[in-house]
Copies of this chain bind each other. A is one copy, B any other.
Amino acid sequence: MSRPTIGDVAAAAGVTKATVSHAYSGKRPISAATKERVFAAAEQLQWVPSSSARALATARAHAIGIVLARDPAILASDTFFPAFIAGVESVLARHEVALVMQVVTNRTAEERAYRAMAHGRADGVIVLDLHREDWRISFLQEMGIPTVLLGAYDGETTFSRVRTDDAGPVHELIAHLRTSGHERIAHVAGPLGYVHSFVRARAYLDETGTPELLREGDFTARSGRDLTAELLSLPDRPTAITYANDTMAIAGYSYARAHGLTVPDDLAIAGFDDDHLAGHLSPALTSVSTDPQRRGEVAAERLLADVAGETHREVTIDCTRLLLRESTAAPAPTTVRPLLTKELP
């Protein structure tokens, strides 16, 4: 009743284990006839090679890893993550490579997890949520495991990098707000230790030059609300607030409305990430789409190439786009209400 092994298949086909192995790998010529017999035997026994045995023998896990150092509760409301994973998987699926995930909550566990990845669990890793000073980079380098860094990391490294232009849309957005007459534009950033938060905040500062209107949040709705409250209570309050993600933007938006402000007339609001419902809020939320799925695909492809021995490279993908919607519309014109029509197509 125990699972069939390569030996069983070999016996059933009247050959040796090596032949079975090679019939599948193609690493040496096998006559069509025996190949036939081998496949038939395997099919009949429903044999599937043991991944651990194969991994041990080849020193290849046929899996790649992602270690997430996040509070599960935060992961739960993250809009980036599932789309990114979907992108990664769509590539891995084609190569019969699995994805091993591990969520950790402290540094010790994180090191252990990466070590485990490097020691047989995975052939390579994708590193997310880069910090400006990120210990993982030298750590992984020392460990010698193929790695792809996702984000605008500028430190020294020989790892492959997949970057996107997060600053461009921010510049564009601020310029747009200025044109619409806004003079006091605030920004609620994500944790500034993160490269992606930092890049967005940096772009904001470069464009506005108003550090006094910058606040550091943590991507949660709560921080979005609290920092919005703080900004709105300033003597000379901002007329527009940009946020580093949609969740904080929506929380700020709700807070403002609950306190009698109209969006966008009294306060313009913009998010980042283009959550799938952002366009359905009313007024619809201006945001920046970031195509996480595509980033997942590119990162996975890059990593598989690195694992296969290609030389590391830096890839920049053009996938961020400012989506101007009602929440940052110019104040003046009144909203157009569609007619009540009973004629539905």
Tell me, yes or no, whether A32 is within 8 Å of chain B by CB.
no
Interface size range on A against B: 35 or more
Residue of B nearest to A103 (CB): B89
Q: Beyond A63-B100, A89-B102, A101-B99, is A344–B56 a contact (Cβ under 8 Å)?
A: no
13 new A-B contacts at CB < 8 Å, known A50-B56, A72-B293, A100-B100 = A46-B115, A48-B115, A50-B120, A51-B116, A52-B55, A52-B61, A72-B89, A76-B293, A89-B102, A93-B109, A246-B277, A254-B280, A277-B277
Sample of 18 A–B contacts (CB below 8 Å): A48-B116, A50-B120, A52-B61, A72-B86, A73-B293, A75-B83, A75-B85, A76-B82, A76-B293, A82-B82, A93-B102, A96-B112, A98-B121, A99-B100, A229-B345, A260-B339, A260-B342, A282-B282
Residue contact B281 to A233, C-beta cutoff 8 Å: no
Residues of chain B within 8 A of A251, CB atoms compared? 280
Q: How far is the CA of A50 from the CA of B116 in the complex (A)?
A: 7
Contact among B86, B96, B100, B246 for A103, CB-based, below 8 A: B86
Most chain B C-beta atoms within 10 Å of own C-beta, residue among A86, A338, A342? A86
Taking each of A68, A93, A112, A281, which has the highest tally of chain B beta carbons within 10 Å of its own beta carbon?
A: A93
**A-side interface residues toward B, CB under 8 Å?**
1, 3, 46, 48-53, 55-56, 61, 63, 68, 72-73, 75-78, 81-83, 85-87, 89-90, 92-93, 96, 98-105, 109, 112, 115-116, 118-121, 144, 221, 229, 232-233, 246-247, 250-251, 253-254, 257-262, 266, 275-278, 280-282, 292-293, 338-342, 344-345
A101 and B72 contact, Cβ closer than 8 Å, known pairs A48-B119, A233-B344, A233-B345: no
A76 touches B83 (CB 8 A): yes
Contacts of A101 in B (CB 8 A): 85, 89, 98-101
The answer to whether A56 touches B52 (Cβ under 8 A) is: yes
* Measured CA separation A104–B90 after assembly (Å): 8
Q: Which residue of B lies closest to A258 (CB)?
A: B338
- Closest chain-B Cβ to A109's Cβ sits at a distance in Å of 7
Q: What chain B residues lie within 8 Å of A100 (beta carbons)?
A: 63, 98-101
Roughly how many angstroms separate A76 CA and B72 CA in the complex, as a whole number?
18
With a cutoff of 8 Å between Cβ atoms, the chain B residues found around residue A259 in the complex are 338, 341, 344
